[in-house]
A and B are shown apart, each in its own frame.
Chain A
Amino acid sequence: MNWNILLFQVFPYVALALLIIVSFQRMRGKPFSVSSLSSQLLERKLLYFGSVPFHWGVLFILLGHLLALLLPQGLLLWNAVPMRLFVLEITGLALALWTLGGLLVLLYRRLSNRRILAVTRPTDVIVLLLLLVSILTGILTAVMYRYGSFWFPSVFTPYLWSIFTLRPRPELVADLPFWIQLHVFNFWLLLAVFPFTRLIHIITVPLGYLWRPWQLVIWVRKHRRLQPIPPAAPPYPTSAKPQAALQDKGGAYGSD
């Protein structure tokens, strides 16, 4: 087994397995531990200048990657006109720099503010550093090996699909320059740490808020109470009266 297979075939599957199994297990088994871990209460000014550009930037960049993955043909068609290619490349680069700015603010805030340090775990810093590697290698790729949006559809789209469809072709990335390989590997690394770190907040995006009712009123016991209670388990050994009341809606369970 060579490095190529280890890093770009075996590791991706390990990462994906961790991502899916551990995330699922954590969401189900340890829901209390899942949180955005907001630190806005402790510090708000730098957070504004860090979190807002960082998050919007990351979301658009991820969206871009996703589109390239899903619609490689469309991307190639778009890039067929040089002007459009330049617009795309410049937009991508600008987004990356914008995100980098936010990330650096977040990193500075995390390591300099006393209150933030009090709630900083090693994983918080690790996540920020991994993201920094991603963005920096992404920017390097864009600047040194143009034009990424041109060859992404022909190199990465097949590679990623080969992994996702369980017919791995790691050799597709074997000959790419170091920085690009690092960018790819770091992505798998991020997926691997995802369920163990605060990154898990990404899958808790509360989209249901768009349509749920404003008020949530919960009958703690009603649905159960409305079912007839089997006579085999009388709650009161003494008399038949509460037992009879149990059969109707509520009765002895006055509280519900």
Chain B
Amino acid sequence: MNVRAHVSMTFHLDKCIGCHTCSVACKNLWTDRKGTEYMWWNNVETRPGTGYPTGWEDQERFKGGWEKKNGQLELRLHSRARGLTNLFYNPALPELDDYYEPFTFDYQHLFSAPEGDDQPVARPVSMITGEPLNLEAGPNWDDDLGGSNLYAQNDPNWAGVAPEIQAQMAEIERVAFNYMPRICNHCLNPACVAACPSGAIYKRAEDGVVLVNENKCKGWRMCVAACPYKKVYYNWATGKSEKCILCFPRLETGQAPACFHSCVGRIRYLGAILYDADRIATAANAETQELVQAQLDAILDPFDPQVIAAARANGLGEDWIKAAQASPVYKFVKVWKLALPLHPEYRTMAMLFYIPPLSPIVSSIEEGLVRLELPPEKVDFELFNHLEKARLPLEYLANLFAAGNVEVIKPILRKLLAVRIYKRRQSVEGSIDPATLKIVEAAGTTPEEIEAIYQLTTKPTLQERFVVPPYHREMATEVWNDPLAHKGETGVGFIELPVRGD
């Protein structure tokens, strides 16, 4: 057992209101520089949809992630030798138009336009060339199913969903969607790290954050193609790749990352988990249907004395073990088994876990009237017993979070529904009837667990949502240096400006 800690994440999709506050917080903090305008380290996409960059899940085209070849795990992008011969031109690299051309508006024109018959307008201009631009794409272009016949219909996650259901989803009365915020998953088996010819990307063993060493990066742009989630971006101005850094400067000072901190829906949870690094290789190479379970098995119980002993032996401090025990992520992922990694079939072992969304039952439409055959209080029960009637098809969710395995999604949705039914009975009717208790049992949960899930889902405090382990920045100097010597040495040396070289 090789125990390491990982600062890991959970997003509760039922709570996301699609406000994009997270994206803007990140943009203001990290990607408002030249060359990064088009990057959204945090983006929120509407599902069904093709996301950002458009169609990123199409791995036939973008060649992201790992695949199993003759029992061996290999990058879909390239073999080592092919990686070198593709340096001059990387066939799988998305181009700017797969994201969008960043633009601003020519506001100055409103003031400087010569007098005329028409009101002057602020035309959009490209932030790269400075020239007027005909806007055909932009951030969140397909928000809330905008242009769904172009975008939502081309969602690769429809694979295996019956055409009738797909057609149904396109009818305005039955439309359903949810939001899916995405950041770098800080994977356990990151394809970006493996694909970098310079070895510039690395995972910090202390907390699992995946970072690009900007000094080592030589702009070979293999990581951009290899990341199946398209969460490494190429800065066209500096010629270096950049990605989400999980706000490590904030983490190291005890704060949650900016997107977490600003989240309006409070959907985000952050906490340490302990995992067994020796199991990564086998877990990433498991059979497709067993991938999720294999990954969950690599996450260890922080209360297990053996795990604690192994953690200590590996140099983990008591406060990190305590933080792992208090971690909301551990509860959602391992104790309550409610959260899943996005697209486990990419085999990068994403360490951001999503709680899949519930959706209303499909209603029938007769003569323009929405008609449910059931009284409203029975609807939840109906859904519980017939999950296949949910508006977001189970197969669709399974394609997102379970490599197509519906059986992995079902118990989660049932448990989430049981929580909802139980708490509704309790607060509306003041008592729990036997039918509800039966549902609770059928969902494999207990009133106590329901209470705990409810507590952490609905009313958690900031400290409960974000359990940032202490990084001991105050001792950073002592770790590297004799503090007195350090004091005398600071200020010597120079820092290079991050500007494009010739």
Report which A residues bind B (CB closer than 8 A): 29-44, 47-48, 51-52, 54-56, 114-115, 117-119, 121, 123-124, 196-198, 200-201, 204-210, 212, 214-222, 224-225, 229-230, 232-233, 235, 249-256
Closest chain A residue, CB of each to CB of B66: A214
* Distance (whole angstroms) from the CB of B395 to the closest CB of chain A: 33
* Distance (whole angstroms) from the CB of A50 to the closest CB of chain B: 9
Across the interface, which residues of B come within 8 angstroms of A55, CB to CB? 88
Across the interface, which residues of B come within 8 angstroms of A197, CB to CB? 502
Within 8 A of A (CB), among B314-351: 314-320
B198 close to A (CB within 8 Å): yes
- When chains A and B are docked, how far (Å) is the Cα of A221 from the Cα of B472? 12
Stretch with Cβ within 8 A of A (4 or more), from B111-119, B134-142, B209-217: B209-217
Q: Give which listed residue, B87, B130, B207, B219, contacts A35 with CB less than 8 A.
A: B219
Across the interface, which residues of A come within 8 angstroms of B313, CB to CB? 249
Report whether B204 and A222 are in contact in the complex, using a CB–CB cutoff of 8 Å.
Answer: no
Within 8 A of A (CB), among B463-497: 469-472, 475, 478-480, 482-484, 496-497
Report whether A252 and B317 are in contact in the complex, using a CB–CB cutoff of 8 Å.
Answer: yes
Across the interface, which residues of B come within 8 angstroms of A56, CB to CB? 88
Report whether B469 and A35 are in contact in the complex, using a CB–CB cutoff of 8 Å.
Answer: no
Given contacts A207-B84, A249-B315, A254-B318, contact A219 B475 (CB under 8 A): no
Q: Give which listed residue, A38, A114, A208, contacts B129 with CB less than 8 A.
A: A114
Across the interface, which residues of B come within 8 angstroms of A215, CB to CB? 189-190, 193-194, 203, 280
Report whether A42 and B236 are in contact in the complex, using a CB–CB cutoff of 8 Å.
Answer: yes
* Distance (whole angstroms) from the CB of B362 to the closest CB of chain A: 42
Across the interface, which residues of B come within 8 angstroms of A209, CB to CB? 80, 83-84, 197-199
B131 close to A (CB within 8 Å): yes
B448 close to A (CB within 8 Å): no
B105 close to A (CB within 8 Å): no
Given contacts A31-B215, A32-B498, A40-B89, contact A222 B205 (CB under 8 A): yes
Report whether B201 and A216 are in contact in the complex, using a CB–CB cutoff of 8 Å.
Answer: yes
* Distance (whole angstroms) from the CB of A8 to the closest CB of chain B: 27
Across the interface, which residues of B come within 8 angstroms of A208, CB to CB? 199
Within 8 A of A (CB), among B227-245: 234, 236-240
Report whether A256 and B221 are in contact in the complex, using a CB–CB cutoff of 8 Å.
Answer: no
Closest chain B residue, CB of each to CB of A208: B199
Report whether A220 and B320 are in contact in the complex, using a CB–CB cutoff of 8 Å.
Answer: no
Given contacts A44-B93, A224-B479, A254-B319, contact A204 B198 (CB under 8 A): yes
Report whether B320 and A51 are in contact in the complex, using a CB–CB cutoff of 8 Å.
Answer: no
* Distance (whole angstroms) from the CB of B87 to the closest CB of chain A: 8
Across the interface, which residues of A come within 8 angstroms of B312, CB to CB? 250
Given contacts A32-B501, A44-B93, A119-B236, contact A217 B480 (CB under 8 A): no
Report whether A250 and B501 are in contact in the complex, using a CB–CB cutoff of 8 Å.
Answer: no
Report whether A34 and B206 are in contact in the complex, using a CB–CB cutoff of 8 Å.
Answer: no
Given contacts A33-B499, A249-B315, contact A40 B93 (CB under 8 A): yes
* Distance (whole angstroms) from the CB of B416 to the closest CB of chain A: 34
Given contacts A35-B238, A218-B203, A255-B317, contact A40 B95 (CB under 8 A): yes
Report whether A255 and B472 are in contact in the complex, using a CB–CB cutoff of 8 Å.
Answer: yes
Across the interface, which residues of A come within 8 angstroms of B193, CB to CB? 214-216
Closest chain A residue, CB of each to CB of B74: A214
B428 close to A (CB within 8 Å): no
Report whether A255 and B499 are in contact in the complex, using a CB–CB cutoff of 8 Å.
Answer: no
Given contacts A38-B234, A221-B206, contact A51 B478 (CB under 8 A): no
Report whether A35 and B240 are in contact in the complex, using a CB–CB cutoff of 8 Å.
Answer: yes
Across the interface, which residues of A come within 8 angstroms of B83, CB to CB? 209
Closest chain B residue, CB of each to CB of A226: B315
- When chains A and B are docked, how far (Å) is the Cα of A41 from the Cα of B35? 11
Across the interface, which residues of B come within 8 angstroms of A225, CB to CB? 315, 479
Given contacts A114-B129, A254-B470, A255-B206, contact A36 B220 (CB under 8 A): yes
Given contacts A33-B502, A52-B88, contact A233 B484 (CB under 8 A): yes
Across the interface, which residues of B come within 8 angstroms of A44, CB to CB? 89, 93, 95
Given contacts A30-B496, A251-B317, contact A256 B479 (CB under 8 A): yes
Across the interface, which residues of B come within 8 angstroms of A252, CB to CB? 317, 472, 475
Across the interface, which residues of B come within 8 angstroms of A224, CB to CB? 479-480
Closest chain B residue, CB of each to CB of A123: B502
B500 close to A (CB within 8 Å): yes
Report whether B80 and A35 are in contact in the complex, using a CB–CB cutoff of 8 Å.
Answer: no
Report whether B496 and A38 are in contact in the complex, using a CB–CB cutoff of 8 Å.
Answer: no
Closest chain A residue, CB of each to CB of B35: A119
Report whether A221 and B199 are in contact in the complex, using a CB–CB cutoff of 8 Å.
Answer: no
* Distance (whole angstroms) from the CB of A197 to the closest CB of chain B: 5
Report whether A254 and B469 are in contact in the complex, using a CB–CB cutoff of 8 Å.
Answer: yes
Q: Give which listed residue, A38, A115, A119, A235, contacts B221 with CB less than 8 A.
A: A38
* Distance (whole angstroms) from the CB of A243 to the closest CB of chain B: 11
Report whether B315 and A33 are in contact in the complex, using a CB–CB cutoff of 8 Å.
Answer: no
Question: What are 8 A-B residue pairs whose CB atoms fall within 8 Å in the complex?
Answer: A31-B496, A42-B128, A216-B203, A229-B478, A250-B316, A252-B472, A254-B317, A255-B207
What 10 new A-B contacts, CB under 8 Å, besides A51-B88, A206-B220? Answer: A32-B215, A32-B240, A33-B499, A37-B501, A38-B234, A43-B95, A121-B500, A198-B502, A209-B84, A250-B315
Across the interface, which residues of A come within 8 angstroms of B280, CB to CB? 215
Contact with A along B121-150 (1 / 0, CB 8 A): 000000011110000000000000000000
Within 8 A of A (CB), among B299-315: 312-315
Report whether A220 and B216 are in contact in the complex, using a CB–CB cutoff of 8 Å.
Answer: no
Q: Give which listed residue, B194, B224, B239, B475, contacts A235 with CB less than 8 A.
A: B475
B167 close to A (CB within 8 Å): no
- When chains A and B are docked, how far (Å) is the Cα of A29 from the Cα of B215? 10
B202 close to A (CB within 8 Å): yes
Across the interface, which residues of B come within 8 angstroms of A43, CB to CB? 95
Across the interface, which residues of B come within 8 angstroms of A36, CB to CB? 87, 218-220, 239
B90 close to A (CB within 8 Å): yes
Report whether B198 and A118 are in contact in the complex, using a CB–CB cutoff of 8 Å.
Answer: no
